[in-house]
Each structure stands twice: as structure tokens, then as C-alpha cells.
Structure 1
């Protein structure tokens, strides 16, 4: 796991490196700037392209000055640097790099307070104005400059953090932020990069390693963790000789109505493909033919009319409930029956969550260790309206601890909140997966892993990761605009085989 640090913790890591590596702050700045340039020149190889580097007078500006000097040394001949001198303050490392840049032929222009902005002919702008040190919205000359640069519609590459974007905390959708086509950030992603509000300001980001002490980073107390492939490889268990269907559990998927059998088919199919030894679907009688046609490996418990189905709950090692189930009295009665008679962790999604939001007393009846998988609107219906995603993070952390459950809050970097207060951000998936039914597949995967005796936290982290990874393996190499949920489900065995090889 990569601990995701706050701005204060990032500065603490820098200070630790300076004190214990040991390394001077100016040499650490040089190392970071070289890492930036290494990535930049591989992806912007045309050395004839005109580039303007915009620098503030803090350490982010110092990075920008060093980057300009190093790019010049690599033969980028159409460089110029513009320094925003909006105050008399400057850091020592900025001043050192300013003097070093003056010894080169790179043109250097200063923009003073209340001056009009110079014309801009470059096609690429490197943003090194403020970086991660910002703790309040932009105002004054910086705000005017950023608004001016946004109007130019240039390609913007930000150094570490786009100017105006807070690294953590509430992000105002109306905030003035220098919109970045690319952010090259140091050592690890910043927390707010992983929240949907950042999408208005960042097209994509890349992390470059600047050699900070990983052991010290791991030692810092951060509830926020970024899940890597190696973490999932450590969780997933290979299949051994002499295994049989009983080895991998018996999962029950309670889903579907006559009009919404697609959801039941998708979650049940995903449960099979993710490796459950046996999968049974509890479905309406009208859906039996569809189930037998779509996935013959899935057994059925048929729901007839208003009667509760006769379910021997003891035989099931995991139960998932909700996709396409509906919100009528029959669905409520079935959910209530499961909550009363099944005391192992459950997986609840879709209509099961809608029923919980309408009958809040049922939330307290969830067995310890249960998993709920809401998207943003379902989350807000359950736990109250939120004005931004940072607020949702705080509620997610609080409710997972309070209810002793696991909450999977779905977005691009799906977040798992755990009873011990940790928030895990997933690192797989892509926009081609943004289509109806994808959540049903995730529900089936997580239920399948629970049935195979993975712990709830393992089922969440691995389930989310392999779901996104299967989608990535379908969409990215083939440059597909859309991948379908059924395709993702069918891809799961191959994806899991690679991870357990």
C-alpha cells in the first residue's frame, strides 16, 4: 500500500530526508526537478516546441527554475521563464535557482504586482507557480494570472500540483485553478487527485519517484491508502491440486425481478467467474429460463408470488443481495428475513441499499463485517446529503467504524472504508467501464470472494481491483470506447490467473 499523505506530512517527509539522508534542500529540489524532466522529455520529445515556465517565488517556483535550466541542458531551445513577483518574499532555494538560471541563455521575464500580463506564444505551459503549499483559495494577482492562463487554451503541465488546487480538504467546484492537461507529481498522488472534483482541473497525472525514504513514509500514521498490484497478489490465493467445488464455498445471489433479470444474471455470472465453488441465484420464477440460457452453471431458488422462498441459510458461505431486486413489500420482506436469519457478513448493493435508506432501522441489523457497495447517490440517501467528496470521505470513515461494516464507495478510484478507520483507494478501472450493470458484476465478485473464505477487507480490496483490472485489460490495449459488464465478468478468470501466477 502507498500511504496517501497530507500536505503537512509531505513536508515532514522532505524534512526527514534533509535531516537523515542527509541531503540539502537545494539538492532535493534538483533531484525532484530531474525526475520531472526525465518524464517530460519522454512524452514531449520535440525540442523545437515553444515552452513557457511560469514560476512563483516559493519552492514550487524553484522547481520550475531548475526544470527550465535542465530542459535547456537537454537541448530545448525554445524555452522562456516568467516569474510572478507578486510579493517581496522568496525562498532561499528559489533564489539559488534564480541565480543559476541567470547564468544560462534562457529568457527570463518578471511579472510584477498589478502589471498587465505579457503575450504568450508558447504551445506548452509548465505550471510551477504555487504547488502543494496552498491552503486557501486563490485571490489577488495569482487569481487574475490563473484566469488569464486558462483563457489561452494551451497545453498545461503542472509541477507536483496545479496552481489553486488544494492537496486535501474541500474542493470548491467554482475554485480558480490552473487547469492541467498533465500533472507530474512527486513521490505519490495527492489525496484530492483521487476525488471526482479534481476531474474539472486535471486531465491526467503521473507519479515520479524522487527517492524519499519509503520506510519513513510507511511509518507515518495515515488512514488513506492507495492499493497497488503487489497488494492484491499478496491477497489472492492460487488454486491447488485436490481442490473441489466445496473448497471454494457456496454463494447465494438474491436478485432480479421479471423486468430486471439482467442485474441478476450479471451478478450471478460474475460470482461464478470469480471462482465460487457453487453459485445459486434466488430469482423470480419468470427469470428461470433466462438464467438457464445465460449461465447454466448457476443453480436457482425460485421466488413465487408474494411467498418468501424456502432458503436453508446454513448451506451458504456468503450471500449477496440487491441487484434488480426492487423496493416493494416482497423485496423488503426478503431482505428482513435474511437479516434475521443469516448472521455472517452480507454483501448489499442497489435495491438492498435503497430499502435500507427507506428503513433506517434495518441498517443497525447488518451483521458485523457486512459489505455495502453504494454509488454516490445511494451513499447520500443512506447517510445524508453532502456538498463535496471530501465530506463523503469523513462520513465514510465514521459510518464504517460506527456500524462495524465495510463501505465500498464507487467512483473512478473506488474507496473502501473499514471498521478500523482506514480508507483504501483502488488503482484500476477506466472510463470505458462507465455503463449500467458494472456494479452488479462487482457485487457478484465480492460475494464470490467472501464465499471462498477471503476476509471482508480482502474481498473488498481484491474484488474491486480485479474488477477494474479486467476492464483495463479489455479496454486499454484495444482502445475500446466501451466495455460491457458481461465481458468484464468473462475476463475475470484470466485476470485472476495472471495475478496468482
Structure 2
């Protein structure tokens, strides 16, 4: 971001001060949308660098929009001031907004305003808060007011390396410039910022897109360019045959959810390999899905375009033997989830057993069983990245923002999904979606990225309809409509 700032200033007719004004204006537009009540009193807390300069400009622009109850604190904890900070401080002389400058944290009075805007340090910090800055952050947090951070909450590192003992200013909303910061996608960031919003400040997009990065967002435009249209004269054979090996006598729900997700995502044929005790449930719930009894699998050929193994299957010796048979015999696309991963975690040689191109879909605990405990989500993602490149796997590390680590070293961050999806069966549904896409001819990278996107998007559609809690069987129902809507958009 700093590189793009410099490039934009050097190659377009705009000064750094004008770019700061543009950023402040973008912040204010979003702020007004979030907090439209102009009678609320606002405290703007500024440092003396460029983030503080943003804060001073924001205070002035809010005042021009008739937010009349504004006060500014300047934390002058060092002798350094940026030129743009000084320029914006001079502009405030004509507004009569009160400005209080503090050189010691013990001077701070009680915060009486309704809202605090955090423009103290921004994205430049790469170490924990300490001394005066830490005291100031604690003072603001203790006031228990909604905090809106400018670009980054004070104390949060931007690059994802968030450690347990870091203390931050706790923001309700962060209004981030041009791009979300990597840290926003890690669960540890929630204590520093509950929600983030991205505003365009007019940086050079072509230049930014050309910069090297291992991290990418998967958004709607990516889904639209990935989805394959179903063509005239195609038939069930065109869209592949998927095998779902899942469920046990006590966990047939996992097999039913996985198979239904596979069916509704568009696989031409779906077969569920289940225990004999589950046949009645399968036939009653999903008459379109064929059945293969579990004890007959080893004797059977594997004429499937894609196989999913694991949801609700158990980890006993029989299933361990079955998994190793599939790993040895499977020549096509493979998804491993849930108990398949737990079986592998107990085998020190599991990496040699898993074919290249396999998709694994662990949640945090399953991932740690496979790859060892991690101190942070950043460390966990680095391990996923290493595993993907070293063993040519696609690692789908599940969370609210799911990370898809690819064999080429890229980490794709999914942008769909919501907390209402935190319920049992969601992982089973995701496995069904992914194996369905594999059966239809998507490669492992496409199936993982698109599958995670569609899964989260279906949850978002239910949330849009007002559902605070979403069940896996509900979510599955939305997927055919999403695919149809996406294909319609593609045609346009």
C-alpha cells in the first residue's frame, strides 16, 4: 500500500496532501453511512504522522457535513511530525474545532463523547504497543465507546502476524483504504476490529495489481469467470459421477448432507457409499442418489470422476483400511475431510500416501492434528502454504474467511460466509459441493476456490433473507439458484 501511495503521487498529478484529502473524504462518506446521527459527539484521536493527518482532515470534513460536536486529541508522544499532519493542523484553525495536545498519557481526561475515531498510528506499526501508546489505548478502551479506526486499529499489525499477548485499541469498525489488510482475515483480529469496510481512495489499480503477492481474494467476478455454463445437448454423463464415502450407523446425517450438496451442485450422478443400516434413510431422503454398501467397496471398481471420503465415517481399523485402499487405487480427483483427516493424522507416513492434487478440507483442530500445534493463525496459514507447495495438495483451511492454499504458492482468501453458518453439518455440505465440481470437470484449484465461495455465498443469501442462524440443509437449497444466477450474469 505504501509503495502504491508513492507510485500514485509520483505518476499522477496529485500531491500527498491531496491524496490524504481524498482518503479522508472516502472515510467520511462511509462514516456518514454507518453513523448518520449528526447530534452525536465525536472524539478524534490523532497521532502526529500521516494517520494523524488523515484524522485531522476527517474532523474538518465531518464538521463541514454538520457534525457539530467534535473534539480532537493529539497524542504528541515524540518530536516528529509529518508535513501533511502539520498542513492539516493549520487548516483546522478556521473551523474552531477544539484541539487538545497531550505529551503524557496521565494527562488524559475522561472521554464523554459518544464515538471515538482512531487516527493514532495506522498501518505502520509492526511491534506491540508499549509505554504512552499502550496507556492511551487502554484509556480509550476503558471508556467503552464505539471506536472507528482509520485504515487500521492502533496496535494491530497489518501483515497478519498477530500474537496472543498484543494489546490493541479495540475498534467496532475499521474503514480501510483501497484494500483490506491481511490481518482482518485472521480470527485473532476480532478483538481489535469487529467489522471492516474498504473504501476506494483512487490509488493506481493497474500498478497495484502488478505487485507481487502470495495472497489473493476470491470475489464474485472470480466466481463468474470460473463457473462453466451447462450447454445444450449435454446429459448426465457430461457432468460426471461422484462417489461420497461417508456416514456410519450413528452419523448418517453427514452422509445425507454431503450427498445432497453434491447432487444440488450439479454432478450428473451421485453415489453414496454408506453402511447397510443407512439405506432406508438415503432412499427416503434422496431417491436420486445411488447407494453402494460400504462392505462392498473394496471389491468394486472405481469408475468415478471424483471421490469424497470422510464425513461422519469414523476412525476404526476397518475405515482406516478402506481409506488406504482408496488412496492407493484412486486415479481421479479426491477430497479428504473430517475422519479421513483424523485417520491420516495418526499415520506418520500420511504425506506419502496422499496423491498429488488431492483436496484436504480441515477445520482448525483437524489441521493441527495433521501439521502440529500453531501459536497463531498466521503460522497455521504458513504451514498450509508449505504443505500445498511441498506435497502438491490443495489445502482448504476452514474458518469464517477460509484460506485455500494452492500448489503454486498462492493463498486464496474467500470473501463469502457469515457467523450464522457456525453450525453442524456445514463442513459436510462443503465437501459435497467440492466433490460435485470435481466430478463436473473443474480442476482441484477451481473446485476448491469456487466450492468455498458458493458455500459461503449460499449462507450469505440466507442471512440477507433475515436468518440469523443457518442450517446446512437450508444452505444446500440455495446453491442451484446461485449457479443459475451466475450463469445468467455470465451471459450478460
TM-score (norm 1): 0.96
Superposed CA deviations along residues 157-190 of structure 1, whole A, max 9, x for unmatched, are: 0000000000014212332211111000000100
Structure 1: any 5+ residue segments left out of the alignment? 1-9
How far is the alpha carbon of 1:477 from its aligned partner?
2.5
How far is the alpha carbon of 1:277 from its aligned partner?
0.1
SS in 1 for 2:107: coil
What's the counterpart of residue 447 of structure 2?
A: 459
| Contact 1:52 1:124 (8 Å CA) reproduced | yes
What's the counterpart of residue 158 of structure 1?
A: 149
1:243 maps onto 2:234 in alignment? yes
- Equivalences for 1:410-425 in 2 at 5 Å? 410-425=398-413
| Aligned partner (choices 28, 40, 45) of residue 31 of structure 2 | 40
What's the counterpart of residue 480 of structure 2?
A: 493
SS in 1 for 2:349: helix
2-structure distance, mates of 1:158, 1:338: 51
2-structure distance, mates of 1:342, 1:221: 36
2-structure distance, mates of 1:27, 1:303: 68
2-structure distance, mates of 1:310, 1:499: 41
| Contact 2:76 2:102 (8 Å CA) reproduced | yes
1-structure distance, mates of 2:297, 2:272: 14
**Range moving further from structure 2, 361-370 or 60-69:** 361-370
What's the counterpart of residue 469 of structure 1?
A: 457
- Equivalences for 1:12-411 in 2 at 5 Å? 12-304=3-295, 309-313=298-302, 315-411=303-399
2-structure distance, mates of 1:137, 1:309: 56
2-structure distance, mates of 1:18, 1:395: 37
1-structure distance, mates of 2:289, 2:281: 11
| Contact 1:255 1:281 (8 Å CA) reproduced | yes
2-structure distance, mates of 1:492, 1:75: 46
SS in 1 for 2:197: strand
| Contact 2:273 2:297 (8 Å CA) reproduced | no
| Contact 1:302 1:309 (8 Å CA) reproduced | no
1-structure distance, mates of 2:355, 2:333: 5
How far is the alpha carbon of 1:310 from its aligned partner?
2.5
How far is the alpha carbon of 1:42 from its aligned partner?
2.0
1-structure distance, mates of 2:89, 2:100: 11
1-structure distance, mates of 2:471, 2:37: 38
SS in 2 for 1:360: coil
1-structure distance, mates of 2:4, 2:463: 37
| Contact 1:308 1:333 (8 Å CA) reproduced | no
**Range moving further from structure 2, 405-414 or 161-170:** 161-170
| Contact 2:151 2:177 (8 Å CA) reproduced | yes
TM-score (norm 2): 0.98
Superposed CA deviations along residues 242-262 of structure 1, whole A, max 9, x for unmatched, are: 111001000000111111111
1-structure distance, mates of 2:417, 2:297: 38
What's the counterpart of residue 428 of structure 1?
A: 416
2-structure distance, mates of 1:290, 1:228: 37
**RMSD (Å) for aligned C-alpha atoms:** 1.0
1:482 maps onto 2:475 in alignment? no
| Contact 1:180 1:202 (8 Å CA) reproduced | yes
SS in 2 for 1:253: strand
Structure 2: any 5+ residue segments left out of the alignment? none
Superposed CA deviations along residues 77-116 of structure 1, whole A, max 9, x for unmatched, are: 1011110011111111101101111221111111112542
1-structure distance, mates of 2:345, 2:351: 8
| Contact 1:245 1:277 (8 Å CA) reproduced | yes
How far is the alpha carbon of 1:199 from its aligned partner?
1.3
SS in 2 for 1:481: coil
What's the counterpart of residue 4 of structure 1?
A: none
| Contact 1:49 1:123 (8 Å CA) reproduced | yes
Superposed CA deviations along residues 241-299 of structure 1, whole A, max 9, x for unmatched, are: 11110010000001111111111111011000000000001110011111111111110
| Aligned partner (choices 438, 461, 474) of residue 426 of structure 2 | 438
SS in 2 for 1:168: coil
> In the comparison of the two structures, how many residue pairs are matched?
488
How far is the alpha carbon of 1:308 from its aligned partner?
5.1
How far is the alpha carbon of 1:367 from its aligned partner?
1.6
2-structure distance, mates of 1:170, 1:212: 25
1-structure distance, mates of 2:77, 2:350: 57
Superposed CA deviations along residues 372-397 of structure 1, whole A, max 9, x for unmatched, are: 00001111100111010010111111
